[in-house]
Chain A
Amino acid sequence: MLAIGQTRFKDPVLLTLPEPGNLREGEIRVRMSLSPIGVAEVRALEGHRLKLVDQIVDEDHPFIFGFAGVGTIDDPGQSDLQPGQRVLVAPYNSCGECAACLAEDEIECPNPNGLSGIDVHTPGLMREYVVVRSQWVLPLPEGISDEEGCYVSEAATAVHLLRRVKLKPDQTVAVVGCGRHGQQTILVAKAMGAKNVLGLDPSSVSREAALACGADEVIEAPDCRTGYDVVIHCNSFLETLGTCCDLARVGGTIGLLGTPEMDHPNAEIKEFTRRVLETERLLVASRSKGMASFRIAINLMKDGMPLKINNSQTVSMSQAPQQFMKTLAEWPGGRPTFIDLRIGE
């Protein structure tokens, strides 16, 4: 079967993989339909993290892209799923049996075994077929398109973060950085009942997107605004942590989404530590999510949370390598892009 991967960084290619073997107990086979090019794919293409964690990518260890995706059930195994049923596929490869996995909190599994599209030894979802445990797919309800299904993963990241910061209805929220994750955070925060959601981003495109996601207000740069109950750091720049302190009220919460670049510490960052501690602000870190957050995200969408996907494009698997490089060049701009994984359909 075909897959999109790389055997050296910044060189995406179509690869031929062995056909999936027989199912083991608890497994199902999914015929993949669609997978997005997102931040996971761009970072894998650049290879920074893979190099940092000493994961080798070469002819013998090909990296397969695809952190998120949707498909249809090809073989439901012993599960209650039905052939042809549309499902979202999550990127887990954990034990599936420990207390964390059973609580749908897979990132706390003692044996996580990597994530699809993140780690080289756990193939990504940009393949014609994937074989996974049945607990790592979720049926997509009618009314949620394949494209929207691909974005549930991002919404689930925001759900996990906002659960970590214990967001309560009617709390005020500021989102520093309105890229993809920032937009999803605004959407989910509004759906969870936050009021007066502020988006801050220097890009006018991102600010417009933030408004479309339901932000009550957007600003280009920090001003004298302050007093927000919850402030979410949603970008890759450590320097903007100081802005989070400006926006958060004394005793408020600052949520940290993901891992910013760590190679440019400066005095402002040092000041951040002092300010957080001195004012008893709560610093809450978040790195990923479990199936519980996927489930909540889908429920929020069923209840009307609109995932905004404007001006998107879908390309075929054969066009994918070229599109990967184009997306990398335009990142974080460019159109939302999906790869159609349905060969010959």
Chain B
Amino acid sequence: MQAFVTTAPGEVKCMDLPEPPHKKGNILVKFETGLLGAGTRRAVLGDAAQVVEGGFKYPFTIGCTAVGTVKDAGGSVRMRPGNRVLISNVITCGTCAQCVSGADNLCKHRKLAGIDYEGTFSEYLSVDERRAFPLSVGMNSRMAIQATEVAVLVNALEMGWQATEKRHRVTIIGAGNLGIHGVWMAREWGANEIHVVDSHPGRLDLARAMGAEVTMLPDEYDAWVNADIKERGAGVVLVVTDHPNAISQGCRSAVSRGCVVCVGLPEGGVGLITNYYPNLISRELVMRGCYSKTGAQIEKALRLLDAHGGQDFEDVVDIPISEAGVGKILEFAYSGPNEQRYMVTNREKK
């Protein structure tokens, strides 16, 4: 079977690999679609900082979340051959205290597909059944593939809503592939006013089109919101970018006793804490990391996407799993974050 494999930093090949062996407790899935995101970019470029301790172990198949069709359900009672499923990029042990308590996003032995575990961009996948989530009939794969991203924001919004009563206004800092979902999701959660901050004007246009009331560049927003923090600041701030200044901007954008939820990890920098700590204290903020998502949150994300429709990508770069797709993957990796979406697809061979 064909698979996209990275062999060194900046190198991707389409290789012919043996089909995965059947493992007890696993299901065999025929790959249909996979979305390229920040994790895959890091894997392709070899940027292992804060992702993989000790660096990447080459060669490995890239690819995070995927959608596919069950070919062999093994002993599963939840799935049958022919069912379409979402394959999560998160691999958990299922037995540690966190997993058992339902906080499987904090699994002690968590691994990420395409980062420190075999990726999904191959024609066939053998995966633990716990990673597979059935799709409703007719749900298109472009919509479903967004579920693991949406699930992270489900986690973030649940945290924000739990931490503060001030939920009228939500600010999203960083409107990339993940953050942009925050616009429709915050509305779904009950926010009346949504602000989006990003340094890419194209992303701000998209956020405005999705209904955000205020969209601004970071410096512009910082000055505007702090000119009248009580009337313009947000009760819930979602920091959805790894820019090193984003957390401090998040704390400067929050009203007193608001909540700043940081999705993922900042790039960091010495003295980072001194940038956000004074505002954290003086405004009595709550800050929380949102690192991943639980299985229950992925299921909720699928339901939300099914009901709401999420964000439909009209202009997607379609990448077949073939030698011809390698250039597009490198183009994605080296072009850096922007509003263009790239998807890997498994086309039927003629």
Nearest A residue to B264 via CB reads A277
- A224, CB-defined interface residue at 8 Å: no
Proximity string of chain B (283-299) to chain A, C-beta cutoff 8 Å, 1 when within and 0 when not: 11111111100000000
The answer to whether B290 touches A280, judged by C-beta atoms less than 8 angstroms apart, is yes
- Which residues of B sit under 8 angstroms from A285, Cβ to Cβ? 280-281, 283-287
Nearest A residue to B279 via CB reads A285
**Contacting B291 at CB < 8 Å: which of A262, A279, A286?**
A279
The answer to whether A270 touches B270, judged by C-beta atoms less than 8 angstroms apart, is yes
In Å, the complex CA distance between A250 and B108 comes to: 10
Binds B, one of A144-152, A172-180, A182-190, A251-259: A251-259
The answer to whether A259 touches B163, judged by C-beta atoms less than 8 angstroms apart, is no
- Which residues of B sit under 8 angstroms from A164, Cβ to Cβ? 284
- B98, CB-defined interface residue at 8 Å: yes
Q: Bin the interface of chain B by size.
A: 35 or more
- Which residues of A sit under 8 angstroms from B159, Cβ to Cβ? 280
The answer to whether B106 touches A287, judged by C-beta atoms less than 8 angstroms apart, is no
In Å, the complex CA distance between A276 and B290 comes to: 10
Interface-central residue, A256, A262, A273, by most chain B CB under 10 Å = A273
**Contacting B270 at CB < 8 Å: which of A107, A266, A278, A283?**
A266
- Which residues of B sit under 8 angstroms from A273, Cβ to Cβ? 247, 266, 268, 272-273
In Å, the complex CA distance between A46 and B290 comes to: 40
How many chain A residues touch the partner (CB < 8 A)? 33
The answer to whether B288 touches A262, judged by C-beta atoms less than 8 angstroms apart, is no
Minimum Cβ distance to chain A for residue B107 (Å): 10
- Which residues of B sit under 8 angstroms from A284, Cβ to Cβ? 286
In Å, the complex CA distance between A155 and B77 comes to: 57
The answer to whether A259 touches B290, judged by C-beta atoms less than 8 angstroms apart, is no
- Which residues of B sit under 8 angstroms from A295, Cβ to Cβ? none
In Å, the complex CA distance between A238 and B290 comes to: 23
- Beyond A251-B106, A280-B106, A280-B290, whether A258 also contacts B265 by CB under 8 A is no
Within 8 A of B (CB), among A283-305: 283-287
Within 8 A of B (CB), among A236-288: 238, 241, 250-251, 256, 258-260, 262, 265-267, 269-270, 272-274, 276-287
Interface-central residue, A164, A256, A272, by most chain B CB under 10 Å = A256
**Contacting A270 at CB < 8 Å: which of B269, B284, B290?**
B269
Within 8 A of B (CB), among A100-146: 107-108, 110
- Beyond A265-B274, A270-B269, A281-B288, whether A108 also contacts B281 by CB under 8 A is no
The answer to whether B291 touches A277, judged by C-beta atoms less than 8 angstroms apart, is yes
The answer to whether A269 touches B281, judged by C-beta atoms less than 8 angstroms apart, is no
Contacts beyond the supplied A274-B50, A276-B289, A285-B281: 16 A-B pairs with Cβ under 8 Å: A250-B98, A259-B282, A265-B270, A265-B272, A266-B270, A272-B273, A273-B273, A277-B262, A277-B288, A279-B289, A280-B291, A281-B289, A283-B287, A285-B284, A286-B281, A287-B284
The answer to whether A286 touches B284, judged by C-beta atoms less than 8 angstroms apart, is yes
- Which residues of B sit under 8 angstroms from A278, Cβ to Cβ? 265, 289, 291
- B345, CB-defined interface residue at 8 Å: no
- Which residues of A sit under 8 angstroms from B289, Cβ to Cβ? 276-281
